[in-house]
Amino acid sequence: MRRLALAGLLLTLTACAPGGCQQTGSPETGDPNPAEEPLPGDPDAPETEPETPPEPAPEPVTWPHEPGGSLHPGSGSGATDATLWAARMRFPMEAAPAYANSQVYGYGGYLAPGPGGQCDARNYAYPWRDNFCETRSWTNGMCPAGKGHQGQDIRPATCEKKVHWAVAAEGGRVTSIGSYTVTLLGDSGRIYRYLHLDMAGVHALFPNEASRTVTRGQHLGKVSADFGGNATTIHLHFEIKAPVSSGGGAATVMFVPTYSSLVDSYQRLLSVS
């Protein structure tokens, strides 16, 4: 009898876990099938996608250009104001390349640095050069001398009339078409002026008041040499007028330096070209 009792006790001990006799399953929940963490190398472990590093931002597209205010030697004192007076505007020529420089002090101009016509390859090459405030008799309050060139001369890709489109720098309305000037009042309140376009073509595009509401990038006319019955070199003269405050007084709408805004907009044009 005693031997039978000992045998039963041994059977009971071998049925218990080393930590004591408990119910099978999760010690906390009693779940008979507790979830198991997969071990490293387990073929049943779920696959995880490796993290893809973010792509680096593209390098800004650039081209040779002189800093703002750096005029052609001997042509006057430039405005070094780097303000983006028309931030995010559309470049006023439809397509690149285009060449910002001086038509007066460039080859073929009446103050040219040497022999050569307006179609000289040196006029159609980088670097760009600012010519806002270039010596003129016109009033310009943003120039060191208080007068000077009121915009920027831009040559199109090639020395050809009536080929290359000028476009709206922003959406707005064409408020005036003169003998050689197109004026665009932008939705921002800024005023843009385009000179020396093919004016017959401009009138064909905008035959009446109802046609003069334009969208950003819309054709305004083709670059030519119109100058009120006379002729100039083939180029677009582009101006920006914006409200300028000084001394806490009321803002005055005046000609502002165009070069920084042109550099900014041309860089974006090259990025998508």
Give the whole-angstrom CA distance, residue 114 versus residue 116.
7
Q: How confident is the model at residue 12 (pLDDT cuts 50, 70, 90)?
A: very low
Nearest to 153 by CA among 109, 108, 111, 100: 100
Q: How confident is the model at residue 41 (pLDDT cuts 50, 70, 90)?
A: low
| pLDDT recorded at residue 43 | 58
| pLDDT recorded at residue 52 | 73
**Mean of pLDDT values over 168-196:** 98
Those residues whose C-beta lies under 8 Å from the C-beta of residue 115, and which sit 6 or more positions away, are 107
| pLDDT recorded at residue 61 | 85
Those residues whose C-beta lies under 8 Å from the C-beta of residue 69, and which sit 6 or more positions away, are 78, 79, 80, 81, 130, 133, 257, 259
| pLDDT recorded at residue 50 | 67
pLDDT greater than 60 at residue 68:
yes
Locate 44 and state its tokens.
Answer: 């049943």
pLDDT greater than 60 at residue 37:
no
pTM: 0.79
pLDDT greater than 90 at residue 15:
no
| pLDDT recorded at residue 228 | 93
pLDDT greater than 80 at residue 213:
yes
Give pLDDT tens digits for 72-125: 999 999 999 999 999 999 999 999 999 999 999 999 999 999 999 999 999 999
pLDDT greater than 70 at residue 19:
no
Give the whole-angstrom CA distance, residue 86 versus residue 266.
13
Contact 267, 60 (CB under 8 A): yes
Q: Which position has the higher pLDDT, 38 or 50?
A: 50
